[in-house]
Structure 1
Amino acid sequence: MSALTVGEQGPTITALAQLLADFPHLPAAHIEIGRILTRDGYALGVGIMLHHATGGTLADFEAWRQSLAIAPEAVGMRPAAADQVIEAHGRYAGVAVHVRCFTRLAVPLAVAA
């Protein structure tokens, strides 16, 4: 995978600017642009991450999901250490979008002895 130029990231920067204009009320999140994880591998897009350690909640995730018109059926869940990751993939302004929320597991995973 070769390195991108800033020019090649143009569509993701434009999508992010459009996101800010369309949804200034959404909760703050860690946002990345460039190559992001999608259901099919990697693509140019916008990654949005919410984390319980920085105040991110499932309600914040849901606000992002609804605003980006990502179907509830596109939401998945997986364990990650002591956290649970709720994530959804979609498209916005012509680019891939990956929204993730790291929440505490209700019951910690068993640690192998």
Structure 2
Amino acid sequence: MTDEITQPTVRPISEQAPAAEALAELIGMFGDLPGAYVTIHRPCLSQSARLGLQLDSPVAFEAWRTVLAIAPADVALHASAESVWLSADGVFRGVPVHLTGFEVPLTAEVASTPQAAEAVSA
């Protein structure tokens, strides 16, 4: 056994540049879309930087989902005791993008109830 402490690998901020550039391009192309709480991070060292957009409403979420060409079938509905939210993953200019939309007007009980495919598409 050794008393040596292994230091974590420190990655340069430049590795996050592609995500920052993707965000700048999205702003340039779609500057009228709803504002978001923005995160850029690497979920783990083996992955590239990811752009996260957290949105205040399902309407804002839908606007971003549409411009990012994320299929409606790829949207997940999540529920906890306190809130219900949407999430979806896409890619823009090779950069992973994670969308989260809060304030879904459903109770956790309703959001957690399985729906038949026919009922969802109706």
Q: TM-score, normalised by structure 1?
A: 0.78
* Pair 1:99 & 2:99 matched: yes
**Displacement, 1:93?**
1.3
In structure 1, the partner of 2:118 is none
Q: Which residue of 2 aligns with 1:71?
A: 71
**Aligned partner letter, 2:101:** C
After TM superposition, the runs of 4+ consecutive aligned structure 1 residues lying more than 2 A away are 1-4, 104-109
Separation of aligned partners in 2, 1:3 and 1:77: 35
Aligned CA distance change for structure 1 residues 24 and 47 (closer, same or farther; 3 Å): same
Q: Distance in 1 between matches of 2:74 and 2:96?
A: 13
Name the structure 2 match of 1:9.
16
Tell me how large the CA RMSD over aligned residues is. 2.3
**For structure 1, which runs of at least 5 residues remain unmatched after alignment?**
51-55
Contact 1:77 1:85 in 2 (8 A): yes
Map Cα deviations across residues 6-48 of structure 1 (whole Å, 9 max, x no partner): 11111111111111111101101101112259xxxx6421000
Gapped runs of 5+ residues in structure 2? Answer: 1-7, 110-122
Inter-partner Cα distance in structure 1 for 2:60 and 2:43: 20
Q: Which protein has greater RCO, CA pairs closer than 8 Å, 6+ apart?
A: 1
Larger Rg: 2
Greater helix content: 2
When structure 1 is superposed on structure 2, of 24-33 and 2-11 the one drifting more is: 2-11
| Count, aligned residues | 101
Aligned residue for 2:13, secondary structure, equals coil
